[in-house]
Amino acid sequence: MALRSRTTTDPGVDLERIRKEQAKPRRARLRIMIAGDANRPIRTITLPRRLPLVATLIVCTLAIATVLLACGSWKLNGALAGLERRMFAMVRAADSVALGAEDTRRSAAPGASSSSP
């Protein structure tokens, strides 16, 4: 016995399906109407219904990413400034140690004067 697909020829079933489709609230597409020239007075551009929602989500995502990256950059800038201060302090300390060692060598050498000729 072969399985047959369920096709109905009953007009009542088709009528119920049509009524269900008509009962659903159909959302119209967004239309932008532009006034034009005399030959073609109105131009219509239709947009998908969800386009404003998708565009808003994309813009919000980009704005949030921008704010997060700006905060990260600000924090990295502060960390870099701290490292630069520490580096300059270490350079000054190394310079003072080097200059202090040179002064002690000059004073320890016999007949050395602290002033240059």
The pLDDT score that the predictor gives to residue 115 is 53
Label residue 113 by pLDDT band (50, 70, 90).
low
pLDDT in tens, 63-95: 999 999 999 999 999 999 999 999 999 999 999
Cβ atoms of 30 and 47 within 8 Å: the answer is yes
Higher pLDDT pick, 4 / 64 = 64
Higher pLDDT pick, 107 / 79 = 79
Which whole-number Å values give the CA distances from 105 to 30, 81, 91, 111, 112, in the listed order?
A: 88, 36, 21, 12, 9
pLDDT in tens, 30-65: 888 888 777 777 888 888 888 989 999 999 999 999
